[in-house]
Amino acid sequence: MIHRPPAALVAGFVLLLTAMPPAAADPQALRYGQAFSAERSVFSLPVHVAQRQGQFAREGLAVRQFFIAGGADKMIDALNDDTVELTHVATPFLIRRVLAGDDVVAVAAEFNDPIYSLVVRPEIKSFAGLKGKLVGMADEAGPIAMAMNALLARHGLAAGDVRVETISGTPQRLACLKRGACEAVPLGQPQDVTAAREGYRILGTSREVAPPFLYTVTAARRGWADAHKDVVVRYVRALAAAFRFIRDPANRSAVAATIVEDTRCTEADARATLALYLEPDRHVLPRQGEIDREALARSIALMAGAGQLKAPLPSADRFVDPQYLRAAGIE
């Protein structure tokens, strides 16, 4: 005799299957470009939190990081040659490439206004002590170098007063400082916190000279994003959840642990970094990945001040497609 389950039980099972969330299905693969220089710095924090705390997985995404060597322009090249579908990139490089004809656009903010410290060896007591010394500088076309050059100028050091060597990435610049090859370097967190604790001197920060600007974003080719709107919206939604997680004081230990894992700093230095950002809120981190158009306009003005752009300056809206943030309920 064949026993059949009651019709109500069958209907309930079917209803359960159809109600299962998208993450229960096979995840959508997504290739994300990351610079080697950012991987071991705090600037990878939002994406790494979204990965390790399951925000991407809950949106049905399997995000795989691809490390792109060769400088920030290579991040846009990786979009154009389909190495990656989304990428981390600093806004000046995005702006420059869009103005040169690349059809790329920012879909979410990753870091707002960074805090970079000019850190020097202990024997250097002042800016005047840097004359003739070697500064391990970030990419000359990027906002870090722009801010540091403005900081040097404010304190009486003209171009040519210091020797400059381009070194990409806060960890690499810190290594140059520690082995004595560089007398000064710009450092982000937590490496500047660590350096100060170890006896190195902070002469000044980017915030003394640079107005609040938009530092890094997630970018995509406009055509690809248009054709994969649902995927981009899910990515943006996961990133927003990661920012909320980072900002929740109840998660401070977990977020500090991610910083420690990424940067190899101490837990105390990771917590000091989070306190610097959030106690009080210094607007270093977006609240939910929203793109501040006024801050992006200041990025454009910063480039103009460094001689990289000429008037008339483009509108910030040219470099942003807000439809994904809106669809995710962020803007």
| Cα 92 to Cα 145: distance, rounded to the nearest angstrom | 11
Q: Of 93, 137, 53, 135, give the one whose Cα is nearest residue 319.
A: 93
35 pLDDT more than 60: yes
Shared domain for 201 and 265, answered yes or no, is: no
Shared domain for 86 and 178, answered yes or no, is: no
According to the model, what pLDDT value does residue 5 have? 46
Shared domain for 105 and 220, answered yes or no, is: yes
Q: Which of these three, 181, 208, 235, is where a domain ends?
A: 208
Shared domain for 50 and 62, answered yes or no, is: yes
Q: H helices then E strands: how many in the chain?
A: 15, 10
Shared domain for 128 and 193, answered yes or no, is: yes
Q: For residue 192, is it within any domain? A: yes
Q: Of 67, 35, 39, give the one whose Cα is nearest residue 262.
A: 39
| Cα 274 to Cα 260: distance, rounded to the nearest angstrom | 12
Q: Which of these three, 182, 208, 234, is where a domain ends?
A: 208
Question: What pLDDT digit, counting tens, does each position of 147-191 carry?
Answer: 999 999 999 999 899 999 999 888 899 999 999 999 999 999 999
Q: For residue 9, is it within any domain? A: no
Question: What pLDDT digit, counting tens, does each position of 44-85 carry?
Answer: 999 999 999 999 999 999 999 999 987 788 999 999 999 999
Beta-bridge mates of residue 184: 120, 135
Shared domain for 133 and 184, answered yes or no, is: yes
| Cα 32 to Cα 108: distance, rounded to the nearest angstrom | 13
CA distances from 256 to 38, 139, 182, 245, 268 (A): 17, 28, 29, 12, 9
Query: Using CB atoms within 10 A of its CB, is residue 212 exposed (0-12), middle (13-18) or buried (19+)?
Result: middle
Q: What is the mean pLDDT of the chain?
A: 91
Of 15-19, 68-72, 207-211, 246-250, least confident by mean pLDDT is 15-19
| CATH code, 287 | 3.40.190.10
Length of the chain, in residues? 331
Range of the domain at 81: 27-113+213-327
How many domains does one find in the chain?
Answer: 2
Shared domain for 44 and 168, answered yes or no, is: no
Neighbouring C-alpha atoms within 13 Å toward the C-beta of 118 = 28
Question: Which pair of structure tokens corresponds to residue 252?
Answer: 């401070």
Q: Which of these three, 208, 238, 259, is where a domain ends?
A: 208
Shared domain for 204 and 122, answered yes or no, is: yes
Q: For residue 10, is it within any domain? A: no
pTM of the model: 0.89
